[in-house]
Amino acid sequence: MTIPFYVAPEQLVRDKAEFAKKGIARGRSIIAIDYDQGVLLLAENPSTALHKISEVYDRIAFAGVGKYNEFETLRKAGIRQADLMGYLYSREDVTAMGLATAFAQTLGAIFTREPKPYEVEVLIAEISEDGNEHRLFRITYDGTLFDERRFAAIGGKTEQLTEALEELWTEGMTLADAIAMGTEAFKRAEGRESEGWEAAVLDHSNGRRAFRRLEDSELN
């Protein structure tokens, strides 16, 4: 008679978590920073074809690190959900909180039920209509949801970037100030110069669709 192979649940969870963390650590980090007109999303990304930052809906942006095909699957699902919600109800009913909760539920279910967890972390940003308080949500590989303020970081260098951002943060920054702060935070966290940037903003000056990608000339 064959003896069934047994792994303690605690050990299985630890193994899955370690596997996911290693995959995420191989990816390049992303940060989001509040500034006076919106939110800056900045990633170290040498590729000009494989985007890690994108628009989801009117005032909402998505950023993902880790395994590209996995966070791209999540991004597309988020866009479909946002479009469906806006069509069935109203555009105002599409919120970062709703999308972040859906991502958290999906990643939590995959982590719990599937043999292999997703090797991703996700960041959802939304600018408020009145410009007062923007929303930043960070979702980890196991579905844990964090509600951040002022700035957020995801990826393998999250702790180092958060520490640098804490030291550099000031109220009322312009976009240029936020870019300078973000690039300096990456330099401190990585201990080297960047190999290339991908950047976008959610900015009130862009109208209803607040998302806009930044050109290289705006980052120098």
Whole-prediction pTM value?
A: 0.92
If you average pLDDT over residues 103-126, what whole number do you get? Answer: 95
Q: Which domains, and CATH codes, for the chain?
A: 15-219 (3.60.20.10)
Q: Of 3 and 97, which is predicted with more confidence?
A: 97
CB within 8 Å of 183: residues ≥ 6 apart = 42, 194, 197, 219
CA distance 41 to 91: 23
Let me know how many helices (H) and strands (E) the chain has, helices first: 6, 10
What is the chain's mean pLDDT, rounded? 92
If you average pLDDT over residues 51-68, what whole number do you get? Answer: 95
Q: How many CB atoms lie within 10 A of CB 197?
A: 19
Q: Identify the three-state secondary structure at position 209.
A: coil
If you average pLDDT over residues 80-102, what whole number do you get? Answer: 93
Angle at 7 between CA 4 and CA 8, to 5 degrees: 130
Provide the pLDDT for residue 64.
96
Would the pLDDT of 105 be above 60? yes
Provide the pLDDT for residue 4.
59
If you average pLDDT over residues 120-147, what whole number do you get? Answer: 91
If you average pLDDT over residues 131-140, what whole number do you get? Answer: 88
Provide the pLDDT for residue 3.
54
- Percent of the chain predicted with pLDDT > 90: 74
SS (H, E, C) 156-197: CCHHHHHHHHHHHCCCCCCHHHHHHHHHHHHHHHHCCCCCCE
pLDDT tens for 22-53 read 999 988 999 999 999 999 999 999 888 899 99
Would the pLDDT of 131 be above 70? no
